[in-house]
Amino acid sequence: MPNVLNNNSDQTDNLNVADGTAIPPLGSRGVIRVFAPATVANVVCGFDVLGFAVNEPGDEVEMRLTDTPGVVIKRITGDNGKLPLDAAKNTVSASVQHYLHHVNRLDVGVEIELHKKMPIGSGLGSSSASTVAGLFAINKLMGDLLTPKELVPFAMKGEELACGYGHADNVAPAILGGFVLVRSYEPLDVISLPTPAGMYAAIVYPEVDVPTKDARQMIRSKVFLKDAVTQWGNVAGLVSGLFMNDFDLIGRSMKDVLVEPTRSILIPGFEDMRTIAMENGAIGFGISGSGPSVFALAKDEETAKRITKAQQQLLHKLNINSKAYVSSVNAEGPRVM
């Protein structure tokens, strides 16, 4: 049976945790280092409700408990000075603060080092990976007080800080691994979906600037009913294809008539990259999150590598630098390193 989280609308205030006697004493538990994966959100037709995790890239958080109450970010690497050290403004520390408040442990001191191993603003869930790594780390240090699914609402708080809206299609797969469907936000209802054997993601990140907030503001607030019906059918078809291990159905369903037509304008060479992907054997192709990264699903690693190589050659001709990642779907989520 699929795993489901059902809570009230203020998700973090309605989680049940053990009383204080069940929380292990702080003591000396050393340092923990956690990796959390990048994610592909939307998966073409599933705006804000579908996502999956990949094995690379990802972010790392190093965390230690201290005797001085409060959450402090000691160091950030790999961000080129873009991210705030202010604990209230950084998605990692702010989410950890929210977690500690919820479990009634404001006496706990935490020092955080964030190591960005993936590009910021790539459309691959950069803020999500950092936030999830931090939450996974503090939950481990506190004795796994919450289940992975119970961490999702806290990670959504980080997304709200990062882009103004607490969506879960990045953070849920980053925490749970694999494909995830967000059936509902109020109440939160998160469902893990199966991954067909052998599926690979071919991801290319063109190094152009497409801020998430700007990309979100371009989306129409009202849609035609006929377009909504088409989109509903594609989401249902994609989910069915995952359960049925039917690559053809997945490919037929990877079509977006609501969001992609607008967002793709911001990505140079988008339609040519689609053509390259499909001519080289992709199951389907689309924008990862809000872009500018694009992704294709493939039946094997060789096909995925062929797609990314050809797409990068196109971007090189357009004088656009790019990074490429070929990965199977990450079923594990975050891990202790």
At residue 218, what is the residue type? M
Half-sphere exposure of 89 (CA within 13 A, CB side): 5
From 159, 193, 227, the end of a domain falls on: 193
Write down the pLDDT at residue 216. 60
| Pair (107, 233) in one structural domain | no
From 146, 165, 193, the end of a domain falls on: 193
| Pair (208, 169) in one structural domain | no
From 173, 193, 213, the end of a domain falls on: 193
Residue position matching structure tokens 């506190």: 142
| Pair (160, 271) in one structural domain | no
Task: Evaluate the omega torsion of the peptide bond into residue 187 and state whether it is cis, within 30 degrees of 0.
Answer: yes
Domain of 138, in residue numbers? 4-193
Q: What average pLDDT does this structure show over 147-160?
A: 91
Q: What average pLDDT does this structure show over 184-213?
A: 90
SS3 181: strand
* The pLDDT of residue 212 is above 80: no
- List the catalytic residues: 159, 212
* The pLDDT of residue 115 is above 90: yes
* The pLDDT of residue 19 is above 90: no
| Pair (43, 160) in one structural domain | yes
CATH number assigned to the domain comprising residue 156: 3.30.230.10
As given in the structure block, the two tokens for residue 169 are: 């299609």
SS3 116: coil
Write down the pLDDT at residue 12. 56
Exposure string of 286-310, with b = 16+ CB inside 10 Å and e = fewer, is: bbbbbbbbbbbbbbeeebbbbbbeb
Predicted TM-score (pTM) of the model is: 0.89
307 part of a folded domain: yes
| Pair (177, 241) in one structural domain | no
Beta strands at 109-115 and 70-77: parallel, antiparallel or unpaired:
parallel
Query: Domain total for the chain?
Result: 2
Calculate what percentage of the chain has a pLDDT beyond 90: 77
337 part of a folded domain: no
